[in-house]
A and B are shown apart, each in its own frame.
Chain A
Amino acid sequence: MPIDPKPEDLQPSDAAQVADVLAWAAAGKKTVELVGAGSKSALGRPVETDYRLHLSALEGVNLYEPEELVLRAGAATPLGQIQAMLAQQNQQLAFEPPDFGELYGHAREQTIGGVLAANLAGPRRIKAGAARDHFLGLEAVSGRGAAFKSGGRVVKNVTGYDLCKLMAGSFGTLAALTEVTVKVLPAPEKIRTVLLFGQDDRAAIAAMSQAACSPHEVSALAHLPKAIAARSAVGYVNGAGRAVTAVRVEGPAPSVAHRAEALRRLWGGKGNVEELHAHNSNTLWREVGNVASLLPDADAVIWKLSVTPSMGSEVMAAALVTGGAGYYDWAGGLLWLALPVGNDSGDGRGDGGAGLVRASLGGDGHATLMRGGVELRRRVDVFQPTAAPLAALSARIKASFDPHGILNPGRMHGAY
């Protein structure tokens, strides 16, 4: 089993049994933690429940039609299994789901349902969208113990409410996903990354904006300050001795060569430029998406901030005023911060930098505590707190699926 089982854990063998168990739990108001592979159990507020429900039997790809760009699988199908099938047909999940195994210090293989329930996306987010944008259809069991479906297997569908969007990023607090349908896309024929050296954060944000506003269809933009760049496994990056700003282009070979050349010209006036081919490109962008290897201090508290890209460098400076390190993805719109463990002072009083990080946002964007001890995650808001009317609406939405609050209670917020 991917996560330590307990004797009282439940493992239904199909979706009908999931419905039976949850109907029983709802009737008796028993709380239930939903577990796929448990790869993200340290993401979100700690959950204590009467039972744990393992969805691992809901596994297997039920439909894959490459020419239709669609794949349907049990929610607990290992992501790696899906990615291997897609790779055989030169296809991929375009939202580039990150692997946080190293971040959370385990080797559990995440599931497709877990990726969707957490709405994760990697560096290609700025071009291809997040997990939510590729989530076409679902079958699920609500906290009422009732099976329902939404969406379908076609990309263009406005038949009824888009509950896939609502389920993406809901961390199992609304329903147990049993089967999911996702859009798949062709994998690029060629990949190139252009590097620009020696930019300070503010100049890097400007350079990334310039590339994002070009017609060159860039698929990723990141900036690694000097100390972060030194941690990369890519020689051109770790050996630079300077900050490294990176832009990726993907597509048919002649187009990629042409666009990489155009980006070199675009950035050439700002400083030295270099170009990475496929192998080094893949290594670099995997590091950027998977986070852990680029951030110092294996015990650091890690925050993810999503901000207006042009504000990125100001937010970073404000958030790191008492120390720590960080880098930029999503053209400056995504900040990964490692704050010294001193913030999680162990005396039960530190806030892991929550106050400082959230103040640095200046009222715009949001900050998520991506890694911190159980006590810290119990004490502070893991997800960005929202205005009262939105929090109340979110609680009502939760109740519409799960009136007794039995599913992953408190995983996202005190009330849902």
Chain B
Amino acid sequence: MLMPKPEGEILAQRLGLLDDLRAIVPGEGVIADLTALRAYESDGLSAYRQVPMAVVLPERVDQVAAIMQLCDRRRIKVVPRGAGTSLSGGALPLEDGIILGLGKFNKILEIDYENRAVRVQPGVTNLGISQAVDGEGFYYAPDPSSQIACSIGGNVAENAGGVHCLKYGVTTNNLLGLEMVLLSGEIIRLGGKHLDSGGYDIMGLLTGSEGLLGVVTEITVRILKKPETARALLIGFPSSEQAGDCVGKVIGGGIIPGGMEMMDRAAIHASEEFCHAGYPLEAEALLIVELDGPAREVDHLIEQVGAIATACGSTSLRISETEAERTAFWAGRKAAFPAIGRISPDYMCMDGTIPRNRLPEVLKRMRELSEHHGLRVANVFHAGDGNLHPLILFDANAGELETAEEFGADILRLCVEVGGVLTGEHGVGVEKRDLMGEVFTEEDLAQQQRVKCAFDPNGRLNPGKVFPVLHRCAELGQMVVHQGQMPFPDLPRF
């Protein structure tokens, strides 16, 4: 992975920069010591590492604004970082850049049950929000697997999802307001506790922009009352075709489950060996379908889903009768990643999304790719929304990293080929950056980068992420002018 070439004149500013940063954030808020900097050298994508010039940990928005202004003036590159759980390298440092860590922005500012809104600082964890409102029976719906650690600011940057997003939406559907700081130091507030502010939906644009447009310093989220009850079905199928058929029939039948997860044979076996959840080992595909809502509705829908599964040829079907049983059904799925970690020295988690009805074909071709590359793969799949998480098993010490990366790239190309996308919820970051051309034309990417120029004309905010080729804003803004005749002189007129 090639990162932008470090700029010598920036590296040469290091000592002066540290003095300036310490003038803004006194005490231990500026980290410059090499040992301490190592804690920030990578995020959840640990294959890539880079020690930054410095780490700065502001506590107030005026400090963030001053840091941004300083870096803009000195042309220092800024990489924002929340909890550092990105799986795509979104918070990977740059040698000639600083890390702007939001970890000290860890306060819940306001809980407003009447308006079903919570206002928080970006360093609060995803789960922290749900825990803060749990006593009153509320929760925050998007629930990425890393929710115990990941920050809500990072969730906004990556537009994080989770297992419940088919019914409840991803981060962007659950936000009410944002405060952000531009590289110019300007502080911009968007939304609030009301809905749909007029003007361009900059909040929607910011969500999922991977820290390339602005630094989010405050977030207002929608909270929901917890459903009365939740029950799950655990359904085994002799083929992934039949499992996929069942998923389509459930949704086509008008049922939107709270969660609908699929695992393939390799993932079922790894999970079962790890946590003995009682998964059917003879099954080629396993579905976990969770229905939530009023008890009467859940009982009614459980019956319907059970009937659809049987009609689709399920070979095993269990329905949770107690909360303990429901939790046990999920235990294997939730432990799928560590379970794979147990049977392989290393694994790489991919994140493509496909149209659901292409699943059997995608799984078949993935098996062929697995043979071609000589590496094993296990699949867990957010079946309801088509978000696939193939886990590629490899051994870095045996020199298999490069092959695993090639295998991963082939899988993502396959996702695109069948009408899907490179990433459903983990982000492009550095990991999928060089595959963007598989999805987008040069003009598609140029237009996205022109939007970035509206926020960051000097390209100092998180460069090297998302876009495979960096262009200067002036170059992107140029227009090819072909003066003269109106095209299509015979264009229909009235």
Q: Do A and B bind each other?
A: yes
Residue of B204, B387, B423 with highest tally of chain A CB at under 10 A: B204
In angstroms, how far is the closest chain B Cβ from the Cβ of A161?
Answer: 5
Q: Are A7's CB and B494's CB within 8 A?
A: yes
Residue of B194, B202, B421, B479 with highest tally of chain A CB at under 10 A: B194
Asked if B493 lies at the interface with its beta carbon under 8 angstroms from chain A, I say: yes
Which of A77-85, A192-200, A393-401 interfaces with chain B?
A: A393-401
Flag A358-373 by CB within 8 Å of B: 1 or 0 each. 0000001110100000
In whole angstroms, what is the CA distance A230 to B378 when docked? 62
Residues of A within 8 A of B249 (CB): 67
Q: Are A306's CB and B169's CB within 8 A?
A: no
Q: Are B428's CB and A159's CB within 8 A?
A: yes
Flag B192-215 by CB within 8 Å of A: 1 or 0 each. 111111111111110111000000
Flag A383-394 by CB within 8 Å of B: 1 or 0 each. 110110110011
Q: Are A162's CB and B159's CB within 8 A?
A: yes
Q: Are A69's CB and B251's CB within 8 A?
A: yes
Q: Are B491's CB and A12's CB within 8 A?
A: yes
Q: Are B493's CB and A8's CB within 8 A?
A: yes
Q: Are B294's CB and A165's CB within 8 A?
A: no
Asked if B354 lies at the interface with its beta carbon under 8 angstroms from chain A, I say: yes
Asked if B137 lies at the interface with its beta carbon under 8 angstroms from chain A, I say: yes
Q: Are B137's CB and A306's CB within 8 A?
A: no
In angstroms, how far is the closest chain A Cβ from the Cβ of B81?
Answer: 18
Residues of B within 8 A of A24 (CB): 482, 486-487
Chain B binding surface SS class: loop
Asked if A5 lies at the interface with its beta carbon under 8 angstroms from chain B, I say: yes
Q: Which of B143-202 contact A (CB under 8 A)?
A: 158-159, 161, 165-166, 169-170, 172-173, 182, 186-190, 192-202
Q: Are B169's CB and A129's CB within 8 A?
A: yes
Q: Are A255's CB and B479's CB within 8 A?
A: no
In whole angstroms, what is the CA distance A190 to B189 when docked? 40
Asked if B116 lies at the interface with its beta carbon under 8 angstroms from chain A, I say: yes
Q: Are A168's CB and B204's CB within 8 A?
A: yes
Residue of A57, A142, A146, A413 with highest tally of chain B CB at under 10 A: A146
Q: Are A156's CB and B113's CB within 8 A?
A: no
Asked if B454 lies at the interface with its beta carbon under 8 angstroms from chain A, I say: yes
In whole angstroms, what is the CA distance A193 to B426 when docked? 40
Q: Which residue of B lies closest to A363 (CB)?
A: B192
Q: Are B200's CB and A306's CB within 8 A?
A: no
Residues of B within 8 A of A20 (CB): 487-488
Pick the contact of B454: A150, A258, A400 (CB < 8 A). A400
In angstroms, how far is the closest chain A Cβ from the Cβ of B255?
Answer: 7
Q: Are A383's CB and B439's CB within 8 A?
A: no
In whole angstroms, what is the CA distance A159 to B424 when docked? 7
In angstroms, how far is the closest chain A Cβ from the Cβ of B303?
Answer: 11
Q: Which residue of A lies closest to B245 (CB)?
A: A67
Asked if A9 lies at the interface with its beta carbon under 8 angstroms from chain B, I say: yes
In whole angstroms, what is the CA distance A317 to B281 when docked? 65
In whole angstroms, what is the CA distance A130 to B479 when docked? 35
Pick the contact of A154: B114, B204, B354 (CB < 8 A). B354
In angstroms, how far is the closest chain B Cβ from the Cβ of A38?
Answer: 13
Pick the contact of B493: A11, A153, A308, A401 (CB < 8 A). A11
Q: Are A258's CB and B296's CB within 8 A?
A: yes
Residues of B within 8 A of A7 (CB): 493-494
Asked if B115 lies at the interface with its beta carbon under 8 angstroms from chain A, I say: yes
Pick the contact of B385: A11, A132, A154, A413 (CB < 8 A). A154
Q: Are A393's CB and B420's CB within 8 A?
A: no
Q: Count the B residues whose beta carbon is within 8 Å of the partner chain — how many?
A: 107
Residues of B within 8 A of A187 (CB): 254
Q: Are A165's CB and B201's CB within 8 A?
A: yes
Asked if B238 lies at the interface with its beta carbon under 8 angstroms from chain A, I say: no
Asked if A147 lies at the interface with its beta carbon under 8 angstroms from chain B, I say: yes
Pick the contact of B450: A23, A159, A400 (CB < 8 A). A400
Q: Are A389's CB and B186's CB within 8 A?
A: yes
In whole angstroms, what is the CA distance A378 to B202 when docked? 25
Residues of A within 8 A of B165 (CB): 155-156
Which of B21-29, B123-131, B220-228, B327-335 interfaces with chain A?
A: B220-228
Asked if A214 lies at the interface with its beta carbon under 8 angstroms from chain B, I say: yes
In angstroms, how far is the closest chain B Cβ from the Cβ of A400?
Answer: 4
Q: Which residue of B lies closest to A8 (CB)?
A: B493
Residues of A within 8 A of B491 (CB): 10-13, 17, 21
Task: Say whether, besides A149-B440, A308-B193, A90 and B254 are in contact (CB < 8 Å).
Answer: yes
Flag B276-296 by CB within 8 Å of A: 1 or 0 each. 000000000000000001101
Task: Say whether, besides A166-B451, A252-B297, A132 and B197 are in contact (CB < 8 Å).
Answer: no
Q: Are A67's CB and B423's CB within 8 A?
A: no
Q: Are A68's CB and B454's CB within 8 A?
A: no
Q: Which residue of A lies closest to B476 (CB)?
A: A400
In whole angstroms, what is the CA distance A163 to B447 when docked? 10
Pick the contact of A333: B195, B466, B492 (CB < 8 A). B195
Q: Which of A206-225 contact B (CB under 8 A)?
A: 209, 212-217
Flag A171-195 by CB within 8 Å of B: 1 or 0 each. 0001000000000011101000000
Pick the contact of A119: B201, B253, B254 (CB < 8 A). B201
Q: Are A157's CB and B296's CB within 8 A?
A: no
Q: Are B424's CB and A169's CB within 8 A?
A: no
Q: Are B477's CB and A157's CB within 8 A?
A: no
Flag B405-448 by CB within 8 Å of A: 1 or 0 each. 00000000000000111111111100010001001110111111
Q: Which residue of A lies closest to B419 (CB)?
A: A153
Q: Which residue of A lies closest to B301 (CB)?
A: A252
Q: Which residue of B lies closest to A390 (CB)?
A: B188
In angstroms, how far is the closest chain A Cβ from the Cβ of B445?
Answer: 8
Task: Say whether, besides A20-B487, A68-B356, A217-B293, A152 and B493 are in contact (CB < 8 Å).
Answer: no
Nearest 5 pairs of A and B residues by beta carbon: A165-B204, A255-B297, A186-B254, A5-B494, A396-B454
Instruction: List 19 interface pairs A-B (beta carbons < 8 Å), by A numbering.
Output: A21-B486, A23-B482, A24-B487, A28-B483, A68-B386, A90-B254, A142-B447, A144-B479, A152-B353, A156-B382, A158-B428, A165-B172, A186-B255, A186-B256, A209-B114, A255-B296, A309-B115, A309-B193, A384-B198
* Contact surface of B with A, Cβ cutoff 8 Å: 112-116, 137-138, 158-159, 161, 165-166, 169-170, 172-173, 182, 186-190, 192-205, 207-209, 225-228, 248-249, 251-256, 293-294, 296-297, 300-301, 353-357, 382, 385-387, 419-428, 432, 436, 439-441, 443-448, 450-455, 466, 477, 479, 481-484, 486-488, 491-494
20 new A-B pairs (CB below 8 Å) besides A133-B169, A255-B294?
A: A1-B494, A9-B493, A10-B491, A11-B491, A11-B492, A23-B482, A26-B479, A67-B251, A146-B443, A156-B386, A159-B432, A161-B452, A162-B205, A252-B297, A258-B294, A258-B296, A306-B196, A306-B197, A364-B192, A368-B198
